[in-house]
Structure 1
Amino acid sequence: MTLSSHQRELRDAVRNTGRRRFLTVTGAAAALAFSVGLPAAGAASAAELDTRQIGEDPFTLGVASGDPLPESVLLWTRLAPRPFEPDSGLPAARIEVRWEVARDERFRHIVRRGTTTAHPEFHHSVHVEVKGLAPDRVLYYRFRAGQWTSPVGRTRTAPAPGAHKRELSLAAVSCQAYHDGYFTAYKHLAQEDVDVVFHLGDYLYEYAVTATGGARNYTDRTLPALFNRETTTLEDYRLRYALYKSDPDLRAAHAAHPFVVTWDDHETENNYAGETPENSVPPEEFLIRRAAAYRAYWENQPLRAPQLPDGPDMKLYRRLQFGRLAQFDILDTRQYRSDQAYGDGWQTPGPESEDPSRTLTGAAQERWLIDGWRHSKATWNVVPQQVTFARRRDVPTDAYKLSMDSWDGYPASRDRVLRGAEATGVDNLMVLTGDVHVGYAFDLKRDFDDPASRTVGTEIVATSIASGKNGSEKPANWANITAANPHMKFYNGRRGYALVTLQERQARADYRTVSAVTTPDAPVTTAASFVTEAGNQGLTPA
């Protein structure tokens, strides 16, 4: 995406917004009032707190790890003795945090240890990049602050470059609306034996959460009124992450597995596109909101330093290698996209949506993706991203509509990506998707109008963790969608997650679902399983 001079001026203005203005600024006129620079971590104004003064457990939000590399992992926590208060119960002071990494969960064999600082400017979040580790190893970690010790987390490093790893297991998750139900799927995922979890977006929702927790319908607790409003300020987004991370099942999943995260829309605002908001607010006002959302996202996720946002911009797309078995190209299809055609939603496609200049990824990210394939030596090239990639007609007639928020609203962008995969010789392309609150399995076709055309890849769409409430095995539009899309092999509306096992000769996808999320502790079952062969793409029932 090429920025105009006006767009550059807006971004420069937002980058100069002070922390206090992130919390309070509203209205278009506020865009002209920037004067205080955003404090840097370690600013001289922040004194150091004597950790003996921390009188309550500061590790209420748990621990997490992410973005595993062959010799490094990223460890995360955030100090918050009282997480539902704006200051989390801590003064605006620097706090020393100790960390340890061990080969065993009792920490008898410690391989790395050190100290870091939790800065108030980053809401006392901690991001530790631990280096010098052995490849492809299960490790355990914990933090200490004063007399307090965090829960123990389990993580692992990636295989060495060029390593011939025989099998890699992953989970794909997305869409966890707190107000729509319990995160029971995470409780089960925490017990699964997977190497890594890919979160494909909508980690939180900007919508208000009532005192009873919405569909959770609490009778034993009352949530503070500060959650019963839409998130717009940095304080709002920070508090909303605290609410979500207060869920014990989400904390358990983070503690059990390393996560690789990417966002969709609700981490900021529903269906925004680049700098275009959902509603008709001035772009300068929306960019202030976007900067606040991006800042809170980085503070509360296991992300490395290169992902630290710069005002309203944050480079989230990145590449991870797991030996010669798999390359993962994690996309951001929200920050750089053209505005949705025809006013968004399900619409009849036409010249506006089919304009070849339209993009879902932006030109730079698109080039980066295809160049990465050109140099890939991996058996499987996997693309974790947000919105449905395969064509998805709503009815099996010529009067069909397509979702303008998905790749169907950007067909030229999709065609460029598929042509790039073919030109670079990618034989085993797999797309991982979230967003739609249902589980799909698609064959990706060279020509979606011709069911007999070559299958060039597969798409595994993970259903939601909770969004959409309980769902159903066969949603109301099941017959129409199934008949309209012969390349679709599976459609299920229950909540849960997808498990994918990559091997040298085949990949397997298991769709794990729970019967309900409006009541806790529902059991998990496997709704369906599919395999696709290396070098012979196409999903078949396992």
Structure 2
Amino acid sequence: MLARRRARRRRPGRPLPALLAAGLLTAAALAGAAARGDMPILLAAGEVTDTSAIIWARGVEPGDLAVDVRSLAGRPAASAVIRGTTASDLAGQARVDGLTPATRHRYTVRGGGRGAEGKFTTAPRPSDPAPVRLLWGADLGSRGHCRPSDGEYAIVRAMAARKPDLLVLAGDTVYADHHCHALPPDAPGAMPATTLDQFHAKHRHNRAGPAVQQLLRATPVLATWDDHEVRNNFAGEHGLAAVGRRAFLDYWPVAALPSLVRSARWGRLLELFLIDTRSHRDRACRPDGPGKSMLGAAQRRWLVDAVADSGARGKAIVSSVPLSIPKAWPCGESWAPTRVLFLETGFSRERDLILAELARRRTRNVVVLAGDVHFAAITTLRPAPGLVVHELIAGPLAAATERPRAPDARLAPVVRFSRGGLANFGEVEIDEEGLTVRILDAGGRALATERFRADEALSDRSRAP
């Protein structure tokens, strides 16, 4: 299976003074615009493949935004038009195709007499065993932790300094249901959202922060939602779910619109599977059993088939809630069970069905990237004969912290690291030999490092295009 060993690895990059200078210049420009009340064009690139990307932008007025994509050497690569309307809060996205694999690209977006620039790297070809570094995290901007109008999220600056290939956000990208005490009560984004304009304002406030823009202008992103994009612990039938979902999709580059369920391939070594744990879930207080579902039957079948049949060596399931950690009381909100007297809630029956099927199909090198529980953990699970899953939990990025809780004993967990009480994010590096995971604090200092060697059982399949 996957053997563990400690490892430290230095990755070459640009000299630190150059990195700091570039970051400070970007931050200064964005902060200056914000201080003047002059909202700049907001950018993000996401859903990158080896030959395409989604460019997202929010303009300064209704109308078209012209997108120009070039190689760093200046060779034209693609162009597109993004149409921002008042209904979408001036935001929109466009797909660009025909790009060169494993190549750094520069893109500019112009409209309303202004312009902005970002960069992204395309994924390697599916047959290319290129290494990859990704960051993941969740839970940004809860009450008492949201940024003031002239401030930023310092932890995001530390994330940008890691220069990842890819950023994965595992939910709670905003706290739409919280009052942001750092803002005046009448400021956009200050109060809990109930209308589309108010949900948009929550996203706009988080995304306009200088540090967030620095990170998103340099790093392609994959984002999914969790409960606080709508209301705490909501299930699919909530009355504000549709408007919260609309605002999320307006503000993040998502290739599978209107679905949030999709996969993303990064060369031969990694495929990510983003699931939607909110839209189809049954009420939390319903007793757990064969008829209770978090994903719905169609999404559950897709997940099992996509992971088991993947040609990538590493398979990373992005779940906004953990497999092993119980959450909420008296009714369980996560995959793990919550027991109160004779009542068991949660979604462990469905979780165990998924894991049993992955084991039956001899799936190897599976990790789960999660957040939501507001502490960090690295845990090895052995839920079924022949199946090993490494569950990697990071966060919060900027929210109240919690103490670590014990994982579900039915998954035969081995806790490698667990710590609460501080903001944190995670980093995963994958190469041909295996996976290195780090948990880092708000200043970018490593709190834990674990190394897992790749199982060679599927090495032939991992070479498939």
Please report the TM-score for the alignment, with normalisation by the length of structure 2.
Answer: 0.80
Of residues 124, 131, 134 in structure 2, which corresponds to 1:159?
124
One-letter identity of the residue aligned with 2:364: D
Q: Deviations over 1:140-166 (max 9, x none)?
A: 11111143111x2111111223x2323
Residues 508, 531 of structure 1: 8 Å contact kept:
yes
RMSD across aligned C-alpha pairs, in angstroms?
A: 2.6
How far apart in 1 are the matches of 2:374 and 2:76?
41
Give how far 1:110 is off. Answer: 3.0
How far apart in 2 are the matches of 1:402 and 1:526?
35
Q: 1:273 to 1:159 in 2, by over 3 A?
A: same
Of residues 295, 318, 321 in structure 2, which corresponds to 1:387?
321
How far apart in 2 are the matches of 1:441 and 1:455?
17
Q: Which moved more, 1:361-370 or 1:420-429?
A: 420-429
One-letter identity of the residue aligned with 2:86: P
Q: 1:164 to 1:116 in 2, by over 3 A?
A: closer
Q: 1:77 to 1:116 in 2, by over 3 A?
A: closer
Matches within 5 A, 1:206-217: 206-210=176-180, 212-213=182-183
Q: 1:404 to 1:126 in 2, by over 3 A?
A: same
Of residues 217, 220, 225 in structure 2, which corresponds to 1:263?
225
Give how far 1:246 is off. Answer: 2.3
Give how far 1:373 is off. Answer: 2.6
Equivalent position of 2:452 in the other structure: 532
Equivalent position of 2:48 in the other structure: 68
The answer to which structure, 1 or 2, has the higher relative contact order (CA under 8 A, 6+ apart) is: 2
Equivalent position of 1:40 in the other structure: none
Of residues 461, 466, 471 in structure 1, which corresponds to 2:393?
461
Give how far 1:193 is off. Answer: 2.4
Residues 482, 491 of structure 1: 8 Å contact kept:
no
Of residues 130, 135, 140 in structure 1, which corresponds to 2:96?
130
Equivalent position of 1:230 in the other structure: 192
Give how far 1:403 is off. Answer: 7.0
One-letter identity of the residue aligned with 1:459: E
Equivalent position of 1:307 in the other structure: 257
Matched, 1:406 2:334: yes
Residues 61, 246 of structure 1: 8 Å contact kept:
no
How far apart in 2 are the matches of 1:367 and 1:240?
34
Secondary structure of 2:48's aligned partner: strand
Matches within 5 A, 1:49-448: 60=40, 62-80=42-60, 90=61, 94-104=62-72, 108-150=74-116, 152-161=117-126, 163-181=127-145, 182=147, 183-210=153-180, 212-213=182-183, 222=184, 224-275=186-237, 277=238, 286=239, 289-304=240-255, 306-308=256-258, 315-341=259-285, 352-353=287-288, 355-390=289-324, 404-408=332-336, 409-446=346-383
Q: Deviations over 1:227-258 (max 9, x none)?
A: 44321111110111121122111111111100
Residues 373, 424 of structure 1: 8 Å contact kept:
no
Q: 1:114 to 1:436 in 2, by over 3 A?
A: same
Secondary structure of 2:47's aligned partner: strand
Residues 357, 412 of structure 1: 8 Å contact kept:
no
Residues 65, 75 of structure 1: 8 Å contact kept:
yes
How far apart in 2 are the matches of 1:423 and 1:242?
45
How far apart in 2 are the matches of 1:153 and 1:200?
23
How many residues are matched?
Answer: 404
One-letter identity of the residue aligned with 2:278: R
One-letter identity of the residue aligned with 2:179: V
Give how far 1:178 is off. Answer: 4.9
For structure 2, the 5+ residue unaligned runs are 1-35, 148-152, 337-345, 458-465
Identity %: 23
One-letter identity of the residue aligned with 1:63: L
Residues 186, 249 of structure 1: 8 Å contact kept:
yes
Q: Deviations over 1:484-508 (max 9, x none)?
A: 7852221112212100011222101
Moved over 4 A (4+): 56-59, 391-394, 482-486
Q: Which moved more, 1:402-411 or 1:483-492?
A: 483-492
For structure 1, the 5+ residue unaligned runs are 1-55, 81-89, 214-221, 278-285, 309-314, 343-351, 395-400, 448-452, 515-522, 538-542
Give how far 1:264 is off. Answer: 0.5
One-letter identity of the residue aligned with 2:445: T
Matches within 5 A, 1:492-531: 492-493=419-420, 494-514=422-442, 523-531=443-451
Secondary structure of 1:446's aligned partner: strand
Residues 317, 367 of structure 2: 8 Å contact kept:
yes
Residues 185, 191 of structure 2: 8 Å contact kept:
no
How far apart in 1 are the matches of 2:114 and 2:185?
26
How far apart in 2 are the matches of 1:233 and 1:415?
38
How far apart in 1 are the matches of 2:167 and 2:80?
26
Residues 362, 386 of structure 2: 8 Å contact kept:
no
Please report the TM-score for the alignment, with normalisation by the length of structure 1.
Answer: 0.70
